[in-house]
A and B are shown apart, each in its own frame.
Chain A
């Protein structure tokens, strides 16, 4: 969108430029203050670029000890022993991936289901009101989710969910062993609630953007309401819905406080969801101020770098998918 709308004035062969050029016009803009204003806003934009570049540079520079010592093996080493100065990221990558996957497994069906209801069934006023409330969930701070997770969700899982899962699936390695409360399972459930608003909000917008004649066509062919929704509307919006899921995934990968409070903070790899684990963000939050040696600090910052790279990639994919299917604003809250 051109900001100075002089475009397409009639009778001229050339498309006129938004701002007149030439030394004289420049002098005029200088006197009127226009050049100063342009420089100020351009510098502000450049400073934002610079800050982002500095962020990447600082992460890179302050992790060089760990990068030099461990190389790529850092990513696949299981041992995290600060006393022996042995640092491997695998337990944290494992915990991050497992908790985020679990969160998606729970949140995707529920979130897409809710989005379908809000976009296809609910009357607009009710849909708007419910969406307003669901988006409030995105405004609740992470630390509050952690607080509720510790004192409400964990006792609930202990008394009801754990016995039920154990009885039904106890024979699989995923649901075996004792349950202490803090666990990958608890973290996954808390995360699933935290990412729901993102999935619902973006998926609903994408579904609302599906043209009405798609639905009418299906219904006219004798499809039931559900068949038209599930076999025509949802596939039409598939890219955007998958995009919303990636957006939610990026959120859950970087989520710190809530996970730290319920995941157990043990750098170990167990197949069982009942066992405690650790995540990349949590270990940084927990151990950064305790890190005594330079190598320890550098290893933690390298974990930050890994997390940064992960979220950049996932966010990029999400943006590509959502933008290509509908217009949406960057955050639902």
Chain B
């Protein structure tokens, strides 16, 4: 092979391989579009008003909805947010503003570790901690499992956005004789507010679809849940149970529930990320 053909060959390899990488990227986006399209078509077909207003019907009957699961999911996520976010937020403030070397290192390391714990293991923890003690499944246990899963990201996003606040703001406040906690509460945290809120939104979007932690904590319920001490239905858990059932009508309901769940999650996720992107490119804080 002489030099000219060798160069030609190398150029050809370059073009082919670079095109292949493009195919990979476009292919992945194609998979996403397929998933969205498929869920929209199948979900929208099965979706109706009854889905949001009626209870599930027993097998064999058509119609019915998942109103209890929609409300159940909202309650579980509410409890998870109330339990997980404040703790994670305070932990993040500690790491960004107070942490001394060794203890902060240990906390940061532990938070990373907690972030990597598989959701099914979190479920076991919530089960042994709550369900095994009170001897019955409860909405509260499900909320606690998801709350625990929210802690690591709440810590990390709070820390990250507090650190992004310029030191000049802190210096200015301290120079005016403000105590440190007032400096944080009235200057630094408000400056990082948008970031922290979008962090919470992303966090919520992430746990909203979690099914495994609910399987043996909030367990599921075909009726309305009356108290947080009782088992409760949740959307992702309904998708799972209905998909595995042998009935066509249930499969249709599973698609509808999956569609509602995915749209909610993508809505929260994309709006949070768009706000974040705009803040980063525009504000330049």
A residues near B, CB below 8 A? 1, 3-5, 19, 29, 32-34, 36-38, 40-42, 44-45, 47-49, 51-52, 54-55, 58-59, 61-62, 109-111, 113-114, 116-118, 120-122, 130, 132-137, 139-144, 146-148, 150-152, 193, 196-197, 200, 224-227, 229-230, 250, 253-257, 261, 281, 284-285, 288-289, 300-301, 304, 307-308, 311-312, 315, 319, 329-331, 333
Contacts and interface: CB of A to CB of B under 8 A. Distances in A.
Given A3-B96, A48-B114, A315-B113, 7 more contacts: A42-B98, A45-B94, A136-B270, A139-B266, A147-B254, A224-B10, A226-B17
B279 interface: no
Nearest to B237: A143
Contacts of B258: 143-144, 147
A304 B215 contact: no
Nearest to B155: A48
A227 B111 CA distance: 41
Nearest to B261: A141
13 contacts: A4-B180, A52-B110, A55-B117, A58-B128, A114-B21, A116-B21, A121-B18, A140-B35, A140-B265, A144-B262, A196-B28, A224-B11, A281-B120
A255 B210 CA distance: 11
Contacts of A114: 21, 24-25, 27-28
B120 A304 contact: yes
B58 interface: no
B25 A48 contact: no
Interface of B: 10-11, 13-15, 17-18, 20-29, 31-32, 35, 38-39, 86-88, 90-91, 93-99, 103-104, 106-107, 110-125, 127-129, 132, 148, 151-153, 155-156, 160, 163, 167, 170-171, 174, 179-182, 184, 202, 205-206, 208-212, 215-216, 219, 236, 239-240, 243-244, 251, 254-255, 258, 261-262, 265-266, 269-270, 273
Given A48-B155, A139-B266, A301-B124, A134 B28 contact: yes
A117 B120 contact: no
Given A139-B265, A288-B127, A288-B215, A254 B119 contact: yes
Contacts of B261: 141, 143-144
Contacts of A143: 209, 211, 236, 239-240, 243, 258, 261
A151 to B, nearest CB: 7
A254 B114 CA distance: 13
Contacts of B97: 3, 41
A329 B156 contact: yes
B25 A130 contact: yes
Given A144-B39, A330-B112, A254 B244 contact: no
B contact face: mostly helix, strand, loop, or mixed: helix
Contacts of A62: 124, 128, 132
A196 B123 CA distance: 25
B243 A146 contact: yes
Contacts of B128: 58-59, 61-62, 301
Contact of A256 (B15, B21, B24, B212): B212
B254 A308 contact: no
B160 A5 contact: no
A34 B206 CA distance: 35
Contacts of A150: 243
A311 B244 CA distance: 28
Contacts of A308: 117-118, 121
A48 B91 contact: yes
B28 to A, nearest CB: 5
B283 to A, nearest CB: 18
Nearest to A230: B17
Given A113-B21, A147-B239, A289-B216, A34 B180 contact: yes
A142 B125 contact: no
B167 to A, nearest CB: 4
Contact of B243 (A40, A59, A261, A300): A261
Contact of A257 (B14, B86, B212, B269): B212
A87 to B, nearest CB: 16
A49 B113 contact: no
A81 B90 CA distance: 47
A33 B181 contact: yes
A54 B129 contact: yes
Nearest to B107: A45
Contacts of A142: 209-212
A45 B95 contact: yes
A51 B151 contact: yes
A113 B25 contact: yes
A196 B128 CA distance: 33
Tell me which of B25, B98, B211, B270 has the highest count of chain A C-beta atoms within 10 A of its own C-beta. B25
Given A34-B179, A44-B87, A141-B211, A311 B117 contact: yes
B236 A5 contact: no
